Every structure is written in structure tokens, then in C-alpha cells.
Amino acid sequence: NLDAHDITLTGAVPGVEGLNIGAGYYEANYDLVGSGDTKEEGTVYATYAYGPVTVGYQVGAVGGQGANPASYKNQYLGISYAVSDDLSVSYNRTESAKIGAGYQPGESEYDSLSLSYSMGGLTLNIADADCTHCGYTVDKKQDERSVSMSIAF
């Protein structure tokens, strides 16, 4: 059985054009063979758009109790620039720290750079992502590059 609920509040800030804020909270109680597992998540964010530039920042935390008590503290930062109506470029950074009993503390860092081009119903995306201390493992690195195309009819 699962008993869960969440609440989210989002909206524009009156008097500050382009500024949006939001907050969310989630709680779940799992009854899996009497394990007593629970999970809580919370996050807050702000985005600000000025002309072709949008900047966003978010912080959040995930906590658990029971058989899997790992907790995480996360920070996200992103910036995008609309070069034209058809071309945009963005950069994102994520830092996630894992904490909890029975786990080796660690922090993973992700950086990504992407380019998107649209023409009619065709969209091309190119992305490059780098991870340091992936999976919360010291000195584990991973680099990925992807190219995707979508066509809308």
C-alpha cells in the first residue's frame, strides 16, 4: 500500500515582469512487508526571463527512512539564450549530494551544454553532458554526446 500526497505552488511575481517562483512538497508512506519506508521531497525554484535570456535556480532535498534511508540535497542552475526564433543554446549545472547512514557521503556534478534548431516541423538537438563523481563515486567520470531529430506532421 502507498499513502502519498503532494502540494505545489507556482506563479509569477507581481510587479516583477519575467520572474516566476515555485515550491513543492511530496510525502509518501510505503507499507511494504512492514518496512516502514517513508520518503519526503521538497523543492523551491525561481526563473527570470529578460529578452532572449532565461536564468533559473532550484534547490531541493529528498529524504527517506526505513530500509533505504539515503537522502539527497540538490542544486540546479540553468541559463538559456534564444539566438533567434529558431535557434537556442543552453547550459545547465546540477550538484547532488548523497548523505545517510550506511552510505559513503558523496557529491555528483553534472554539466550540460545543448543547442536546439527548429525549422517548421523539424527540430534538431545537439547536447554534450559531463559528469564528475558519477553515481556519488569519487573520480568516476562520464561524458555523453547526443544528437536527436524530431519531425512533427
pLDDT at 54 over 70: yes
Q: How confident is the model at residue 105 (pLDDT cuts 50, 70, 90)?
A: low
> 83: alpha, beta or left, given left = phi > 0 and alpha = psi -120 to 50?
alpha
User: How large is the average pLDDT for residues 129-143?
Assistant: 90
| pLDDT single digits (tens) 75-93 | 999 999 999 999 999 999 9
β-pair type (106-119, 87-99): antiparallel
From CA 54, how far away is CA 52, in angstroms rounded?
7
Report yes or no: 56 and 45 within 8 Å, Cβ to Cβ.
yes
Please report the pLDDT score of residue 37 as a whole number. 79
Q: What percent of the chain has pLDDT over 70?
A: 90
Give me the mean pLDDT over the 88-108 stretch. Answer: 85
